[in-house]
Structure 1
């Protein structure tokens, strides 16, 4: 097996000590009571920070050198636009001057109000109808103007670049021929589908709309963590809410779209992109872990990654996905 990449023995987040965390939060004008709780986040570092005589705040420290300042501010501005339209989004906290992004100790960080809730039950069709309505409202605002600095979801960054990284630096030698052949076939099929589809309408989307980024409480969902927001087809925020077999996904999509159409037009053609988006996400997810393997948090969290068994199962998953790319897209029931 090719040795995992290692940029250095230390990592930028190593300097994110409890004292630095508290000092950063207090630099924004709060007084911490010293209570810290690390939350489940790998790309960035996110903590619940106790505030004296007030509700705790959520402090998000952005991974250095991932997003430029103007890209983070575009994320924040999108959230503020959604909140202005009374959408249930948890936006960054702003100080008296309207600033939402702070700098401290070499880190960019933002603060958020704490919101409680649980993951939604995505097999509940009533829940999907509600989520469809909200997603239609989000996309209606997202389509008003494009991002200037945020990237676009495309086959190069999510597919080709992921394939190249895995093949050259992580795939075990004995599995590389099978992986290379399959990945090339997959990407050729993806490109053929995209070429046949023609021009894609890219809008501002959440970008990572899985159940972990939706807090459900009292039959009301709240969307959190717009860290992956980017320009993408609207279907990117819908297909990730699907689960189960083809028949179940067909029923689920029908509920999503019924709610969605109350606020924004749904382009039925985008159903052809579901398996393309799913394929690119599978490839990108493995490459994402690979790119972060020098971060000590990743080997601790993904203990099964970068083993022969993992890569064998990854190849099997891609074979199944290659078969799915050959199938006709799901259809909306009339």
Structure 2
């Protein structure tokens, strides 16, 4: 006798209910700490001699910072004036100016002008025009070069602390020593000798390429951005904003964190490729006993089959691989 076929059981389809959006999705800026909470992060920095420098006076430094800012959020949009802005900068503006607006704070437009050979007044004017066109109003327009004297004096302090030295290695030697994690021959030169040579650099008495000032960080660190980064180099090039006063110019790695601190920035926001530079950022601020902003990195905005780099776009135009700058460029 044949067995009767059983009717298939009717399966009720499960109805999935979408989870309500998170607070971060509703407001991306909710992840950021308030300015008075900045002391909670980055409390220890490891130095190359094995010691840990704890920012024991961090709360008192923060107290002074809050007195200056009134507890307001302070951000900055810091383009280098070495080319025209692209669509990636629109995202950066939204994040930098947007956080300040959302928290009823202020955002600086700061020109990160430490490389006089690549920067022009033409680009400075363009950037200011585009920021206004995008609908943002800077709290103040500043330049890293406004702080050249402060940065120079802080470099003297760093040498006096035994945490910077004048080096004579060529670029290929610096690269080799970093790859081999070796200390270079001038790393332990006497403090007084480095002070004298740094003064010679400032006065233009040493030729370009013959000396740099380097931070005494950690040449054995797996993070190459802690391998005694260059703080100052010699350039006999007039500066588009500072004129011809200086023969030495600070590097980005030296100047950026210090100007963030000097301007009492509460949230230093930058793209993810700078994530590996965060240890160096805080190393220098702790070494000099400076106020420490909260650092946060976000992803770059990229467009397929397009170049998103001022430096590379500039090369395409100046080498005439393309016709020029057009209004509809990305």
Smaller-chain TM-score bracket? under 0.3
Scaled by the length of structure 1, what TM-score is found? 0.26
Which structure carries more helix by proportion?
Answer: 1
Scaled by the length of structure 2, what TM-score is found? 0.26
Which has the larger Rg?
A: 2
Identify the structure with bigger relative contact order (alpha carbons < 8 Å, sequence gap 6+).
1
